[in-house]
Structure 1
Amino acid sequence: MQLAFVLFKYFPHGGLQRNFRRITELALERGHRIDVFTLAWEGWAPQHPNLKLHVLRVPGWRNHTRYRQFARRVQAKVQTRQPDRVVGFNKLPGLDVYYNADPCFIERAQARSRLYRLSGRYRVHAELERAVFRADAHNRILLLSEAEKPLFQRWYGTPDDRFHPMPPYVSADRFADADSPRRGRALRRELGLAGDTRMLLMVGSDFRRKGVDRSIRALAALPDELRVKTYLYVLGKGRVAPLMRLSRRLGVNDQVHFMQGRDDVANFLFAADLLLHPAYQENTGTAIVEAIAAGLPALVTANCGYAFHVERAGCGEVIPSPFEQAAMDSALARMLRAANPEHWRAAARDYAMRTELGTRAEHALRVIEGPRHGEEATG
């Protein structure tokens, strides 16, 4: 098949980007030809005769303006090339399949001011979302979070048969094995962490949305005897300066480390004592299921799409909604004081063994390779 894959930006270490790469690589393995259309590309330089990368230059200073122009350029390219399927990893018109990595925009916007809902940014994002989810559209939706489905249906009336639930994706290197403890100990030595030091970990880009500030506040609120031997490591891309200012103000700046994007995330998962994922907004939360695969206990907020995996596995705690900082502070202290944290690790490993993790690309390609929505009825 001739496929067109479309996404706004590709960069290493982003959750959506890692999933995009895995689906792309699997599609190439199956012999498909792919045109990738994007606004920006960083990192991975695929060398494959069946893949062509198109970085489109569009005018505009603001992202939402550029996204609208990009959508128009892609539609023109698609009309010329006539691919068998157009697959979008962001919300865009004219898609055959949409990989739904983002939550319902218009639902979240209701919590913002009326002035925001009159802005150009709101209008563009609402327009792009409606193009995908409107009731009379003819696309299939790869649904990453079941919790978002009723929200989209409330606003757009999207029929049930267009949604295709996807399992989580966890890359093979994240799964704990016999060598994982050694790799974890080696990284701790590299970081200079003593045996009784507690290592907290956050993984993911967009630090504000992931709730890094909440983790810093919870670290600072620990009782003295816990706080002095607890360190937070943050992996990913985001604005560091305001968070370092917060750390200094709270007196924990020497205990908060921003490592940026890393290729050895698995070693951090094996080395850490606890994953923190107190997101303000999170459609799924790939880091949560990666932690489970690695046998790492987790403390997460209930609004994360994958928070239910922590509850089902019994491998940590879920902070209820609406979020209260005091609840996280107490939960963090409680988990760090746990008499037998190994039972969380064992529960996580057991859950990873009996739960389908790591097959999202295969599921996605089955939908992409299948008939377009509505073709079954017409034959």
Structure 2
Amino acid sequence: MKIAFCLYKYFPFGGLQRDFFRVAKEIVLRGHTVRVYVREWVGEKPTDFEIIEVPTHSISNHGKNSEYFNWVSNHLNSNPVDRVVGFNRMPGLDVYFTGDVCYAEKTKNKNFLYKLTSRYRHFISFEQAVFNKGLATKILVLTENRKSEIQEHYHTEDGRFYLLPPGIDIDRKYDKQPQDCREKFREEFALSNEQKLLLQVCSNYELKGVDRSIKALASLPASKRENTFLFVVGEDNPEKMSALAQSLNISDHVRFFRGRNDISRFMLGADLMLHPARQEAAGIVILESIVSCLPIIVSGNCGYSSYVNTASAGVVLAEPFDQNSYNQTLEKVLENSALRQTWHANAKHFADTHDLYGLAKRAADIILQ
């Protein structure tokens, strides 16, 4: 079979992009042909994908999306495939992978003037073309909450939804790392046993709440703050967050790294993961933290935050987010090493006893059936 994948932008460190890559690779492993339409591909191009970079010229993102959709539609008419799979919302999909929050839910409290904008009309119409009742598009969802949000706005039929298991790379699991990984990591970055390392991994600093973590670090009592550091890893411009750290006089305690392939080392070297995201449809980094046995503080609006409670591997912050509550939670967790050790043990047990790795195989089954 020939399978077309539609994805506006590929870069190697985004959660949605990594899910796409694993699913597409699984399709290829089963002997099928994969064609990928992107506006932009960043990073190495696999030789077993046919990658087509779609030309767009509009200034706005929604304008580029429309140009992309029109170009891809024309190309598919001339070069048909057996399935069209979207990792972004657009008309004409056979299968849609729900990696983003429901736009109607996200904008439900916007005023009527916003809903008159071309941006709003574009995104809501492309979403309607996937979720509206009576359509045939299969919808792959990562959480039951996401399904409920969609049905609340669109009354989409139950039978069109397929709940996927998580899809972590098995090589992220704690027992796949060298036994001395933590020691070598902390030696490399000159971290003593007494010093605490906070970690945040994300590719959109503001959306994922890096500023919230910097403020929480700055709020610690001076005696704790002196021995606490925050490493932020991901693809984004750190200028704004770096300026915030400087304004709070903690720039020496915050370091920014570009996206990396050795995140497992960082997770084993750290003492606590932070993920106070403003918006997160799922959050694969949450599960990667669990399988690395790294305790986590996460905002309650993240799709995968329920796994933290189920595994008893950290704290899920109440919504709506409150900075003071986050600050207090961070201080309490840092001063309670016994609690962190308990969460570490709980996460280890959860990683060993639950299927957190089967997303790509299940998604491929549905796409090909």
- Give the TM bin, normalised by the shorter chain: over 0.9
Q: C-alpha separation between the residues in 2 aligned to 1:348 and 1:113?
A: 43
Asked if residue 25 in structure 1 is aligned to residue 1 in structure 2, the reply is no
| 1:179 Cα deviation from its structure 2 partner | 4.3
Could you tell me the TM-score, scaled by structure 2's length?
0.97
Q: C-alpha separation between the residues in 1 aligned to 2:4 and 2:10?
A: 15
- In structure 2, what is the equivalent of residue 319 of structure 1? 317
| Native 8 Å contact 1:9 1:38 kept in 2 | yes
- In structure 2, what is the equivalent of residue 369 of structure 1? 368
- In structure 1, what is the equivalent of residue 199 of structure 2? 201
Q: C-alpha separation between the residues in 1 aligned to 2:264 and 2:286?
A: 13
| Native 8 Å contact 1:169 1:360 kept in 2 | yes
Specify which of 301, 304, 308 is matched with residue 303 of structure 1: 301
Moved more, 307-316 or 184-193: 184-193
- In structure 2, what is the equivalent of residue 4 of structure 1? 4
Q: C-alpha separation between the residues in 2 aligned to 1:321 and 1:18?
A: 28
The one-letter amino acid of 1:126's match is: I
Aligned residue runs from structure 1 range 122-201, under 5 A = 122-177=120-175, 179-201=177-199
SS in 1 for 2:7: strand
Moved more, 142-151 or 271-280: 142-151
Q: Deviations over 1:68-125 (max 9, x none)?
A: 1111111112222221100001001100000100010111112334332222111111
Q: C-alpha separation between the residues in 2 aligned to 1:111 and 1:222?
A: 35
The one-letter amino acid of 2:333's match is: M
Aligned residue runs from structure 1 range 58-73, under 5 A = 58-73=56-71
Asked if residue 82 in structure 1 is aligned to residue 84 in structure 2, the reply is no
Q: Deviations over 1:171-203 (max 9, x none)?
A: 112101174451122111111111211110111
Specify which of 210, 224, 228 is matched with residue 222 of structure 2: 224
The one-letter amino acid of 1:58's match is: T
Q: C-alpha separation between the residues in 2 aligned to 1:299 and 1:123?
A: 36
SS in 2 for 1:36: strand
SS in 2 for 1:202: strand
Q: C-alpha separation between the residues in 2 aligned to 1:126 and 1:228?
A: 48
| Native 8 Å contact 1:232 1:255 kept in 2 | yes
SS in 2 for 1:87: strand
SS in 2 for 1:127: helix
Sequence identity (%): 37
| 1:216 Cα deviation from its structure 2 partner | 0.5
Change (3 A) 1:299 1:159: same
Alignment root-mean-square deviation, CA: 1.2
Could you tell me the TM-score, scaled by structure 1's length?
0.95
- In structure 2, what is the equivalent of residue 211 of structure 1? 209
Unaligned 5+ runs, structure 2: none
Change (3 A) 1:272 1:181: farther
SS in 2 for 1:199: strand
| 1:366 Cα deviation from its structure 2 partner | 0.7
Q: Deviations over 1:226-275 (max 9, x none)?
A: 11111111111123111111111111111111101011011111111000
Q: C-alpha separation between the residues in 2 aligned to 1:74 and 1:299?
A: 41
> Runs of 4 or more off by more than 6 Å in structure 1?
none
- In structure 2, what is the equivalent of residue 16 of structure 1? 16
Q: C-alpha separation between the residues in 1 aligned to 2:59 and 2:254?
A: 33
